[in-house]
Every structure is written in structure tokens, then in C-alpha cells.
């Protein structure tokens, strides 16, 4: 058998994507198959390439604000946060304390909706149609809350250098609190319906196992990395905004398989709810927007700002040259590194497991392609 | 009596068969429409959606509209397909689905023809579907279709074994292959499900796999294989597969009802020789609804798990069950 | 052997638990609405395409002074406006304000920079058209029509 496989006589190419139900976007994976076994998966990127980095370098810096949301449409606010963060750090501007709290609150809501979507989609990839509708019911509540304050439902352009566009009001606080208790009451249901289900467990346990060494070689971050037992989360490792003021845990698992990534994410939902609760309690009064010079020029120099997106570490690196247009902008997106693990992770796997693996990596393709 | 009804050129028996065939076709189409509607409506309700709502009262005419749409669609035949086989596959799948209807005893007097080997006849005819799926997968010239077809064949062959083994347990008790005989053996509420619940569960699981229903719907696993063997079919070809699937589900549930749930037996009704078909249909649809319920709850199993489940759990259990039944009968 | 039976037991139980959950959801009310017939209330802060708002004091007029700030700041370059000098009128008169909504990213920059606060977001979310040109909105005509 192995000799035949080595000769590659029984191999054939299966083209998965760019339109395939479980690649979630325009990702194409060329699979070299042997029967149902995937011998060599090669991702092909670039179908959604829009030159975001180049766009940032060719126009005044405020013009990049709406772009940030278009890279990862599932965590637009966190991308907003990263971008305003890097500009603030380079220009030496401080956002008001209230604005920082609002940023954290909206970012965590954004993270929650991303995790909820992922939960539904992973189970959908494994063939269960119903849980995604339940997670969407929860997610709708977050989107309604965010729509009320940001004006949009998915591609938010809410944060500005120095603060946020619109202050939150008591109604927002009240609705968010309501949502927190609602989400808490829903989690036992998901535990029974999804986590406990024997078919689901058998489908993702011990699938796609990797170790911290592999994770280091590929620069993995986010829940996938925390699934191998490394408690690396930017919110703790390199605290930004007002995260140091909150008490929350970094959930980790040790097995490093799809189940570990799954459990980490589900437990992160609870941690995000905790952060939200504390942030709403501590929310300081004051303006939501700091005084920022009208025509802000970016000083010459470099600045880096890392935030924790739902998929991992997102880094903006901005170089200014004294004008209002960035000299260079580099964005390090988590999905890109996470995807590059795929060929090594999925070699010799069944086709069904490949779908499970891609689901648990939680890829957002426009973020990879930028 | 037959001499009275004999019209000279058409013997009564032939008339009966023709009438039974017409009824069978009506049941096939009626079942497809009802099941299609129920499946979509219940899927909606399970997911907290209303399901089809627009055409007719609560979307009751949705399936009729869909049928017209599918019939009116262009038949797309992809390049480099095996054209003859490609067109033949849906027909091969659908045609055998009608035949078992003739031998299913809906009520004491509602049965097209009672064979001594009715059970074997149904199993034999239904097995043709695998061939149709294989042909469909092969002729589409699409790797996804082919993968789906291969899965289907392996799955159907594997699950036939526990199915037949549990059948044997029942046959050991009744001593006949005639479907009517099996139903009559359970008269008076002595349904076999009460004596052999394990066999019922094994048989039901096996029918789920045989009819390619979730969680064993690997041949058309849409998140992996887009639509499996049906990927390239459109219009009428698709709708024939669709109807065939629902008909096979109906047949499988009918068999389960006949074998384990006492067929037509139930509280007596006026004109019971005909109307007790109501009990039969009630039981069949209860099982079909359970199938829908299962489908909209569980994820899909993986291919090796599917076979493992068969060889490691279903086959040993059904073997032990057969042994126990034989010993109990001998005592 | 013990594991074998334990797995059957726990597995079977988890399946039944799952089915009970979906059964419970089956009898709960639906959460979606039949969209074109029923509509959910729109958030007052919803961002539709931008519009020129009318002056509170002089309701027949919009407030735009044709300063071109919005045109300059728009990241997507989707605003095309022009003003002209007229006899007897102080300042510039807006004669053209075209918004290319196909490019607008609803970022809100124009609304924020406008010195006399002449712009606001509309609440329109149903946009249908047969060509790109159908989405080139003439905000000036809109505000005048609206009177
Ligand atoms: S909302 Fe943004 S993109 Fe749209 S017109 Fe205004 S400035 Fe331009
Ligand atoms: S910024 Fe305001 S006042 Fe200036 S041209 Fe635009 S809409 Fe008119």
C-alpha cells in the first residue's frame, strides 16, 4: 500500500473551493487525495485580495478607518480598535478613560458574536443544521445592541483616534446586562446539545492534533494555540487599553486537537461575559472623545499595536514620515498563520476531518487575503 | 366470487394488480409531497423559524410550486458525462421504489398481492437503489459525486447485514416471510417491539443508514461533498432522486411497522378491514417524523465511524439477539 | 468490555438529551419574522445613505455651504458636489450634490466633518436598482423633493 502511495499512482486531485460549502469564503484548497484520504492539501489564497495595506499607504490615515472593518468582517470593532490604537501610539494621543471602556465593551461584544457564529458554523460543518440557528438567535441580540450604538450591523466604523463616535447611554448598558444574563442561561443548552453529543465528540476529539512546537513554528495564536496549553493572550501578555483592570482567566486545554480549540472558545465566551460585567460596573463618566488636533500629522517613527482578535493576535505596524499619509503599514493577521498550518496538520486525514479542522481553525478568508 | 366479477377478457387478478399499481403510484407521490412539506416545516420549527409560509395556507402548496419549478427546469447534462447512464440513473432509482408498495399490507384487505416471500421481495427490490446511486455518481464525471456514490455502496452493503440478522430473529418467531403472516402473528397487541426492543433499535438504525438519512447521510454530505451523488443533477433528475429518497424512507418505515409495531393492528374501527390502514399510516408517519427529528438534531458521523458502528455494535448485538431468540424459542 | 458498554450507555444518553432539547425548541414560538410583511423596528441610530438635512429655522432650505470638506475627506471619493456664486446671495449656493452609493462605506466621516452639520444618515435600507447608476443619488434633488 505504502509503496503505491509513494509512487503516487492512486492519487488524484480534488479541487475544494473557491466555492465550497465548508471553506467559508473564497478559499481554494487543492487536495491531493488517495481514496478519501487527503494526502496533500495546498491552500490557494488571493481570491479576495484588495490591497488594504497599500491603500493605507496611499491615502491620509483617517481614510483607512472604514477599511479596517472590511478585513475581518466578524471582528470589525477589534480591527477598529487595533488601528486607532496604533495611530494613537504613534502620535502620542490618549483616548479618554470612558472611551477606552466603551472600546473594551464593544470589542468584547464583537468577540462574543464572532465566537457564537463560529460555534454554529463548526457544528454545521459537521452536519448538524440546528445549533447554528440557536446561536444566531443569541448573536442577533448582540448585533441589535451594537447597531443601536454604531449604526451598522457588521462592518462597523465606530472608533476614532481619541475615542469613539457615539457615546453609549443607559439603554445600551441595560440591554447589555440583559444580554449577559440571557447568554449565561443559554450556555447549558449548548453544553447538552453540542458539547455532550457523542457524535460531535467523536468527530472532533483527537482530530488535528498538534503540539506547542508546531504551533511555534507556524506562529499560531488565539484559541488554537491556547488549546495546546500555552496561555498566550494579548489581553494578558501585552495588555492594551484597560484590560489590566479586569479580572478574567485565559482558558487553556492541553490536548491541542480540535476539541481543545472548541472548549477554549466556549469557555472564552464566559470570560468575555465576565469582562463585560466588570466593564459595565466600572464605566467611568466623562467625554467619549478626547481633544485631537484637527489636522493630525503622523510623526516620523514606528509604532506597533497588538490586539487579541477572536482568531488570535492581530498586529498593526505603522511607520510615519511626518506627513498625514503613512509611510508603511503592515498588518499581521491571525488567520493567515493559522491557515498555514493546514498542510502539515491535515496530511493523511479523511476529507471529513479536514472540514472539521478548517472549522475549528475558525478561518475568515477576507482577513487572510486582505 | 371471482366468477361473478370475471369480465371475460380481463381476469380479476389482473384488474386487482392494475388497481394496486395505480394506488401505489398515488401513495408514492402523495408521500413525497407530504414528507417534503413536513420535513421543511418541521426543520423550520426545530430551528425556531416558521418554515414555508408563502404559498397557500402556511405554505401548504409550496411543494406543488416546487414540483412545477423542477419539472420546468432545463435538464443540464454536464460535458463528458456518460449521457445514457446519466439519464438512466434517476429512473433506476425511482422505478423500484414503486414495486414494494404492491406487497405492503396496509390493512387486512388492502394489499395488492400477498407473496410468500414478500419480505425478501422488498429487500431485493430496494437494493437496486444502490446501483442507481453508483451509476449516478459514476456517470456525472464529478469527483464529489463519485466519492458520494462509493460511500453509499459501502454503507448500504455493510448495513444490510445487521438489518437481515434482526429480520431473522423476527422470522424465527413467525416462521413465514409473508408480510401478512408477520402482521397476523402480532395480532392482539403482541407487537414484537415489546419482546425485542433491541432488535427494533438495531433495525431502525440500519434503516436510517440504508435510506441515507442523517446522521448517516454521508453519500450527500453537503458540507464535505457539496451534494454527493446528486451534485450534477438538476430539474427532473433531481426531483426523481428526491422522491425516491422519501419513498425509500416510507418503505423502510413500513417494514419497521410491519415487523415490530404490529402493522395495521390497533383499536378497532368501523369497516376495520379497510380503515385500519389508518393505524398503519399513523405508525409509519410517527417513525418518519422521528427520522426528521433525528436529522435536525445530530451532526453527521464520519465514514470510518459509520462502519465501526455497524461492525462493532450493530452486528454483534444482532448476532447475540438472534442466538437468544433461537434459544428462547427452543425452550 | 466495560468501556464498550459504558460508551453505548453514555452515547445513547447524550443522543436522547440532544433530541429532548430540539423537541423543546420545536414547541417554542418562532423568533424570525416574515420580512416584507412584518418589519422589525429600525434603530434610530441606523446608518443609511447620507442625506442633506433641512435647516430647523428655515425649513425650506438645507444647510450646506458648499465648503467641500465632505468631498475632500471622504475615504471612498464618492461625493461629487459643486457650488456657485450667485448675485445677491451670501456665500456659495449648492448646485450639485451627488453621492455614489455603490462606493460609500457609510463610515460617517462626511457627517462628522461638515462644519454646519448639514449631513445626516437616512433610514433607508432597501436599495434596489438595475444598474450602478441607479445608486448615484442626487441629494440636492432629494432634499428639494422632500419639502
Ligand atoms: S459615509 Fe464615508 S464613504 Fe460615505 S459619503 Fe460619507 S465620507 Fe464618503
Ligand atoms: S461638508 Fe457639509 S457644508 Fe461642506 S460641502 Fe459637505 S455637506 Fe456641504
Residue A24: C-alpha distances to residues A80, A112, B296 (Å): 23, 19, 21
Task: State the CATH class of domain C50-145.
Answer: alpha beta
For residue C66 the three cell numbers come to: 458648499
In a domain, B122, yes or no: yes
* Residue C40: half-sphere exposure toward Cβ, Cα within 13 Å: 12
Dist. CA A115–CA A266, nearest whole Å: 8
Dist. CA B286–CA B283, nearest whole Å: 5
Give residue C82 CA to ligand 2 midpoint distance, Å.
10
In a domain, B9, yes or no: no
Q: Which residues of B touch A127 (CB under 8 A)?
A: 214-215, 217, 221, 223, 298-300
Given a contact cutoff of 8 angstroms between Cβ atoms, the answer to whether C43 and A166 are in contact is no
The number of the ligand 1 atom at minimal distance from the alpha carbon of C105 is 3
Give residue C76 CA to ligand 1 midpoint distance, Å.
7
Give, for all 370 residues of chain A, the pLDDT tens digit. 445 555 556 788 888 878 887 777 788 888 888 878 888 888 888 888 888 888 888 888 888 888 888 888 888 899 989 999 998 888 888 888 888 899 899 999 999 999 999 988 888 888 888 888 889 989 988 998 988 888 888 888 888 888 888 888 888 889 899 999 999 988 888 888 888 888 888 888 888 788 888 888 888 888 888 888 888 888 888 888 888 888 888 888 888 888 888 999 999 999 999 999 898 888 888 888 888 877 788 888 888 999 988 888 889 998 888 888 888 888 988 888 888 888 888 888 888 888 888 888 888 888 888 8
Nearest CA in chain C to B293: C19
Question: CB-based contacts of A86: which residues, under 8 Å, 6+ apart?
Answer: A303, A304, A305, A316, A317, A318
**Confidence class for position B3, pLDDT limits 50, 70, 90:** very low
* Nearest CA distance, C20 vs chain A (angstrom): 9
For the sheet containing A37-44, what is the strand order?
A12-16, A28-34, A37-44, A349-350
In a domain, B193, yes or no: yes
The number of the ligand 2 atom at minimal distance from the alpha carbon of C69 is 1
Query: Testing the interface with B: which of A126, A189, A259 to mutate, by most B Cβ within 10 A?
Result: A126
Give residue C85 CA to ligand 2 midpoint distance, Å.
16
Task: Confirm or reject contact between C22 and chain B (CB < 8 A).
Answer: yes
* Nearest CA distance, A355 vs chain B (angstrom): 7
Task: Confirm or reject contact between A205 and chain C (CB < 8 A).
Answer: no
For residue C57 the three cell numbers come to: 429655522
- The response to whether residue C139 sits with its C-beta less than 6 Å from ligand 2 reads no
In a domain, B319, yes or no: yes
In a domain, B37, yes or no: no
Strand partners, C52: C119
- Please report the ipTM that was assigned to this predicted complex: 0.80
Q: Express each pLDDT in C50-106 by its tens digit.
A: 888 877 777 667 788 888 888 888 888 888 888 887 777 777 777 888 888 888 888
Residue ranges of domains in chain C: 1-31, 50-145
- Where in the sequence is the domain holding B159, given as residue range(s)? 79-330
Question: CB-based contacts of A195: which residues, under 8 Å, 6+ apart?
Answer: A201, A262, A263, A266
Task: Report the residue count for chain C.
Answer: 147
Dist. CA A241–CA A255, nearest whole Å: 32
Q: Residue whose CA is closest, atom 3 of ligand 2? A: C64
CB-count exposure of residue C33 (10 Å: 0-12, 13-18, 19+):
exposed
In a domain, B33, yes or no: no
Overall domain count for chain B: 1
Q: Residue whose CA is closest, atom 5 of ligand 1? A: C104
In a domain, B129, yes or no: yes
In a domain, B55, yes or no: no
Amino acid at each position: 500500500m505504502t509503496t503505491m502511495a509513494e509512487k503516487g499512482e492512486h492519487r488524484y486531485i480534488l479541487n475544494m473551493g473557491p466555492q465550497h460549502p465548508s471553506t467559508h469564503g473564497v478559499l481554494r484548497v487543492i487536495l491531493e487525495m488517495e481514496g478519501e484520504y487527503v494526502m496533500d492539501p495546498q491552500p490557494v489564497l488571493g481570491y479576495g485580495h484588495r490591497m488594504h495595506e497599500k491603500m493605507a499607504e496611499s491615502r491620509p490615515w483617517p481614510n483607512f478607518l472604514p477599511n479596517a472593518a472590511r478585513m475581518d468582517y466578524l471582528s470589525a470593532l477589534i480591527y477598529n480598535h487595533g488601528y486607532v490604537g496604533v495611530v494613537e501610539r504613534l502620535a502620542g494621543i490618549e483616548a479618554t478613560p470612558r472611551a477606552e471602556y466603551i472600546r473594551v465593551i464593544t470589542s468584547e461584544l464583537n468577540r462574543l458574536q464572532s465566537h457564537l457564529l463560529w460555534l454554529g458554523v463548526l457544528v454545521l460543518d459537521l452536519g448538524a443544521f440546528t445549533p447554528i440557528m440557536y446561536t444566531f438567535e443569541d448573536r442577533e441580540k448582540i448585533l441589535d445592541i451594537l447597531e443601536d450604538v454604531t449604526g451598522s450591523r457588521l462592518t462597523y466604523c465606530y472608533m476614532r483616534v481619541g475615542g469613539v463616535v457615539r457615546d453609549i447611554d443607559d439603554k445600551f448598558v441595560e440591554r447589555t446586562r440583559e444580554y449577559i444574563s440571557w447568554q449565561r442561561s443559554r450556555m447549558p443548552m449548548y453544553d447538552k446539545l453540542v458539547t455532550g453529543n457523542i457524535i460531535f465528540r467523536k468527530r472532533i476529539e483527537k482530530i488535528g492534533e498538534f503540539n506547542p512546537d508546531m504551533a511555534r513554528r507556524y506562529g499560531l495564536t488565539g484559541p488554537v494555540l491556547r488549546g495546546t496549553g500555552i496561555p498566550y493572550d494579548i489581553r494578558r501578555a501585552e495588555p492594551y487599553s484597560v484590560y489590566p483592570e479586569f479580572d478574567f482567566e485565559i482558558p487553556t486545554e492541553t490536548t491541542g486537537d480540535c476539541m481543545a480549540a472548541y472548549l477554549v472558545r466556549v469557555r472564552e465566551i464566559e470570560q468575555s461575559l465576565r469582562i463585560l460585567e466588570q466593564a459595565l460596573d466600572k464605566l467611568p463618566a466623562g467625554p467619549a472623545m478626547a481633544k485631537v488636533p484637527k489636522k493630525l500629522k503622523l510623526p516620523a517613527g514606528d509604532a506597533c499595536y497588538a490586539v487579541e482578535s477572536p482568531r488570535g493576535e492581530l498586529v498593526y505596524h505603522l511607520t510615519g514620515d511626518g506627513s498625514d499619509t503613512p509611510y508603511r503599514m503592515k498588518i499581521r493577521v491571525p488567520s493567515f498563520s493559522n491557515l498555514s498550518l493546514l498542510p502539515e496538520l491535515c496530511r493523511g486525514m479523511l476529507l471529513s476531518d479536514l472540514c472539521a479542522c478548517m472549522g475549528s481553525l475558525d478561518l475568515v478568508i477576507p482577513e487572510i487575503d486582505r | 366470487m371471482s366468477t361473478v366479477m370475471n369480465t371475460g377478457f380481463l381476469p380479476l387478478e389482473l384488474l386487482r394488480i392494475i388497481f394496486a399499481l395505480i394506488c401505489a403510484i398515488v401513495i408514492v407521490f402523495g408521500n413525497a409531497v407530504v414528507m417534503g412539506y413536513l420535513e421543511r416545516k418541521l426543520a423550520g420549527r426545530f430551528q425556531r423559524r416558521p418554515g414555508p409560509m408563502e404559498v397557500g395556507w402556511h405554505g401548504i402548496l409550496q411543494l406543488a410550486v416546487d414540483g412545477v419549478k423542477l419539472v420546468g427546469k432545463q435538464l443540464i447534462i454536464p460535458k463528458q458525462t456518460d449521457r445514457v447512464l446519466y439519464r438512466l440513473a434517476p429512473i433506476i432509482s425511482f422505478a423500484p421504489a414503486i414495486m414494494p408498495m404492491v406487497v405492503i399490507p396496509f390493512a387486512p384487505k388492502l394489499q395488492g398481492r400477498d407473496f410468500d416471500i414478500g419480505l425478501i421481495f422488498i429487500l431485493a427490490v430496494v437494493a437496486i437503489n444502490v446501483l442507481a446511486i453508483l451509476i449516478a455518481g459514476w456517470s456525472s464525471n464529478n469527483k464529489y459525486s463519485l466519492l458520494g456514490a462509493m460511500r453509499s455502496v459501502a454503507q448500504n452493503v455493510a448495513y444490510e447485514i445487521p438489518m437481515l440478522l434482526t429480520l431473522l430473529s423476527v422470522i424465527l418467531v413467525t416462521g413465514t416471510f409473508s408480510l401478512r403472516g408477520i402482521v397476523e402473528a402480532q395480532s392482539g397487541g403482541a407487537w414484537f417491539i415489546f419482546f425485542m426492543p433491541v432488535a427494533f433499535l438495531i433495525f431502525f438504525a440500519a434503516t436510517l443508514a440504508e435510506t441515507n438519512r442523517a446522521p448517516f447521510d454521508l453519500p450527500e454530505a453537503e458540507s464535505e461533498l457539496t451534494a454527493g451523488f446528486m451534485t450534477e443533477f438538476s430539474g427532473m433528475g433531481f426531483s426523481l432522486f428526491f422522491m425516491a429518497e422519501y419513498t425509500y424512507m416510507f418503505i423502510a418505515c413500513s417494514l419497521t411497522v410491519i415487523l415490530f409495531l404490529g402493522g395495521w393492528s390497533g383499536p378497532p374501527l368501523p369497516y376495520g378491514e379497510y380503515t385500519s390502514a389508518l393505524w398503519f399510516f399513523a405508525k409509519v408517519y410517527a417513525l418518519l417524523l422521528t427520522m426528521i427529528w433525528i436529522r435536525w438534531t445530530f451532526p453527521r458521523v464520519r465514514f470510518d465511524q459509520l462502519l465501526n458502528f455497524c461492525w462493532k455494535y450493530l452486528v454483534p448485538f444482532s448476532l447475540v439477539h438472534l442466538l437468544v431468540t433461537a434459544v428462547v424459542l427452543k425452550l | 468490555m466495560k468501556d464498550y458498554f459504558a460508551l453505548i450507555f453514555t452515547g445513547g444518553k447524550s443522543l436522547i438529551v440532544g433530541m429532548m432539547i430540539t423537541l423543546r425548541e420545536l414547541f417554542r414560538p418562532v423568533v424570525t419574522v416574515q420580512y416584507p410583511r412584518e418589519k422589525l423596528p429600525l434603530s434610530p441610530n441606523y446608518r443609511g445613505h447620507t442625506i442633506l438635512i433641512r435647516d430647523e429655522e428655515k425649513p425650506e432650505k438645507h444647510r450646506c455651504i458648499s465648503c467641500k470638506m465632505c468631498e475632500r475627506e471622504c475615504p471612498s471619493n464618492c461625493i461629487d458636489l459643486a457650488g456657485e456664486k450667485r448675485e445677491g446671495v451670501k456665500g456659495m449656493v449648492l448646485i450639485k450634490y451627488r453621492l455614489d452609493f455603490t462606493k460609500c462605506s457609510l463610515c460617517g466621516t462626511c457627517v462628522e466633518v461638515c462644519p454646519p452639520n448639514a449631513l445626516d444618515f437616512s433610514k433607508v435600507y432597501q436599495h434596489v436598482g438595475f444598474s450602478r447608476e441607479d445608486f448615484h443619488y442626487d441629494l440636492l434633488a432629494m432634499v428639494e423633493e422632500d419639502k
